[in-house]
Amino acid sequence: MSITDQYEDLLKYIRNHPEFRERLREALFLDEYVRRSDLIEIVTELKHLREDMNRELALLREDSNKRFEAQTKELALLREDSNKRFEEHSNEMKSLAKELARLREESSRRFEEHSNEMKSLAKELARLREESSRRFEELLQYMERRFTLLSAELAEFSSKSGHQREAEIRQFLIEFLKSQNLPVEKIKHYRIIDEKGVVFRVNYVTDVDIYYESENGVWLFELKASVDHNDVFHFNKICQLFELAYKKEVRRKIISCYKITDEGKVEADVLGIEVWLAEITKGEFIRPSELLDN
């Protein structure tokens, strides 16, 4: 190292060490003569301090280099591990994307198949509903024609007891429904008990002469030779008790008889009860509207 460099190092040391700078100032401004040996001692001390400082800096630099190298290796390992994990994650995401696309495609295909199946079922249901309505109307018309013919037979049974005639009419209806391929088990005779006295009195017992249930609802029949307004009112009460007991709505309430009083006709019209009246002289079956017009 040159003298200039040593001089610069000395000045730097003096600037960075105030206590040494103060000692040097006191030594330089003494009145007594400063010996050369003292200056050599000071310079030697400064040299030792600089050497110590250089060794410490070298150690710090070496330690810093080792730490930096270790951190560089660790960072490289982390970068390598991160790249590896990122690549695995990327591959997994691609696999999931393919699976999601496959599931979406399969879901769309199944939804389309389900939609087509639902459309087919809707068409079939509409066809069955239309066919059922047509058959029901045909059945209704046929029953009215047969009941017209039955009126003559009812006249022949006038000498028999009411219960016997009701049994014969009920049997005729059963045979008629059999001929139409309808389930006979749906034709029933019901005995109803008003256990709580909701409609009649407590434990009142009454009968439903003929009960028939189809896809279009429940029909209740009352079969009597002669009907007045009390009979109509009583039959309507039976229908109410049936709905409460069996939780089913009665769609059609029908009284079939030979004759009915004028008061009975009015009562039936008010209560929505159909009266199927046999008119033997005309050979036809008269409906309630025709009766009221006459």
* CB atoms near residue 152 (< 10 Å): 11
Residue 149 lies in a domain: no
- The DSSP letter of residue 196 is T
- Considering Cα of 19, then 23, then 24, then 25, what sign does the dihedral take? positive
Q: State residue 34's pLDDT score.
A: 55
- What is the pLDDT tens value at each position of the chain, 294 positions in all? 667 777 777 777 878 888 877 777 776 665 455 566 666 777 788 888 888 888 888 888 888 888 888 888 888 888 888 888 888 888 888 888 888 888 888 888 888 888 888 888 888 888 888 887 788 777 777 766 666 556 545 545 444 555 665 665 566 556 655 665 666 677 777 888 898 899 999 999 998 877 878 777 888 888 887 889 999 999 999 999 999 988 888 998 988 777 889 999 999 999 999 987 755 444 333 443 333 333
In this structure, the answer to whether residues 256 and 164 fall within a common structural domain is yes
CA distances 43 to 2, 8, 187, 261, 271, Å, are 15, 13, 134, 151, 135
pLDDT at 294: 32
Query: Is 84 part of a structural domain of the chain?
Result: no
> Which of 40, 56, 75 represents a domain boundary (last residue)?
75
Q: Pick from 21, 53, 75: which residue ends a domain?
A: 75
In a domain, 51, yes or no: yes
**What span, in angstroms and rounded, lies between the C-alpha atoms of 227 and 253?**
14
Note whether 170 and 67 are same-domain residues.
Answer: no
Listed in sequence order, the residues at least 6 apart from 290 whose beta carbon sits closer than 8 Å to its beta carbon are none
> Does the residue 235 lie in any domain?
yes
CA dihedral 225, 226, 229, 233 (to 10 degrees): -20
Range of the domain at 50: 3-75
Is position 124 within any domain? no
CA distances from 44 to 36, 39, 40, 47, 83 (A): 12, 8, 6, 5, 57
* pLDDT for res 190: 81
Asked if residue 70 is part of any domain, the answer here is yes
**How far is 20 from 42, CA to CA, in rounded Å?**
10
pTM attached to this predicted model? 0.41
According to DSSP, the residues that pair with 204 across neighbouring strands are 194
Of 75, 105, 121, which marks where a domain is finished?
Answer: 75
Q: Is residue 116 in a domain? A: no
Q: 41 exposed, middle or buried (CB, 10 Å; 0-12, 13-18, 19+)? A: exposed
- Report the chain's terminal Cα–Cα distance, integer Å: 147
> In CATH, what number is assigned to the domain containing residue 266?
3.40.1350.10
For residue 238, what pLDDT is reported?
Answer: 92
Do 175 and 285 lie in one domain? The reply is yes
81 belongs to a structural domain: no
pLDDT of 29: 61
Q: Residue 275: which residues within 8 A CB-CB, separation 6 or more?
A: 227, 254, 255, 257, 260, 264, 265, 268, 287, 288, 291
Give the residue carrying structure tokens 């005639």.
165
The number of distinct structural domains making up the chain is: 2
State how far the Cα of 280 lies from the Cα of 294, in Å rounded to an integer. Answer: 16
pLDDT value at residue 65: 85
